[in-house]
Copies of this chain bind each other. A is one copy, B any other.
Amino acid sequence: MKNGKLHVITNGKQSNDKLINIAKIIHPFIDAIHIREKAKTAQQIYHLVQQLYKNGVPSSKLIINDRVDVAQVCKVKGVQLAYHSLPVQEVKDSFPSLQVGCSCHSLEEGGRAQRNGAQYILFGHIFTSNSKPGVPPKGLKALSRVSRQLDIPVIAIGGITPKHVSQVMKAGASGIAVMSGVWEARDPLNAVQSYKKHLIDRGS
């Protein structure tokens, strides 16, 4: 049985120094770091990625949120597109070397992303999450429906703690994505290992 994937997504709240220090420790143990720094300019994201490279974080582990141009120039693995981003199909056509992930909040959005060529989706939020205050979570049933009906991997996101991982994986997710659970953990490497343990224990 495949191990579940672990994506770690920045939340725009860390200083560059803190972000880099954590990233260089955790990258060998995770599948992807998403640079999701909405308040940063293209230049700032570009420089952050150069710093990550200098600190040994490989391009194969980096995904840039929304800014396809920065992803292309920095030759990272992929881009994560949201509703406000360029259309998936256009990005696939113009940037064939980039892996394209899509953030979805319904089966309909997930189906459209798949038809348009997305290689995986992030689906959520699954549980109540500090980053989505007041928005009701989708829950495990919706995750299960989406995972069953799509052919591409579904990465679950939103309020996932290590304790939730086995339920999330049983619902059909191919992995999980975590934000504050890693960046704001007292010991981010320990948090990563704690998530990993449950992702590896999948199905046991």
Task: Tell me the A residues contacting B by CB distance below 8 Å.
Answer: 41-44, 46, 66-70, 72-73, 83-87, 90-91, 93-95
B-chain residues with CB within 8 Å of residue A46 when the two chains form the complex? 86-87, 90
B-chain residues with CB within 8 Å of residue A66 when the two chains form the complex? 42
How far apart sit A66 and B45, CA to CA, in the bound complex (Å)? 13
How far apart sit A73 and B42, CA to CA, in the bound complex (Å)? 17
Q: Do the beta carbons of A43 and B83 come within 8 Å of each other?
A: yes
CB distance from A121 to the nearest CB of B (A): 17
B-chain residues with CB within 8 Å of residue A94 when the two chains form the complex? 69, 72-73
How many copies altogether? 2
B-chain residues with CB within 8 Å of residue A72 when the two chains form the complex? 69, 94-95
B-chain residues with CB within 8 Å of residue A42 when the two chains form the complex? 66, 68, 84-86
Q: Do the beta carbons of A43 and B86 come within 8 Å of each other?
A: yes
B-chain residues with CB within 8 Å of residue A84 when the two chains form the complex? 41-44
CB distance from A20 to the nearest CB of B (A): 20
B-chain residues with CB within 8 Å of residue A73 when the two chains form the complex? 68, 86-87, 90-91, 93-94
B-chain residues with CB within 8 Å of residue A67 when the two chains form the complex? 69
- Ranked nearest first, the 7 interchain pairs of A and B with the lowest CB-CB distance are A41-B84, A68-B69, A69-B69, A73-B90, A42-B86, A73-B94, A43-B84
How far apart sit A42 and B90, CA to CA, in the bound complex (Å)? 12
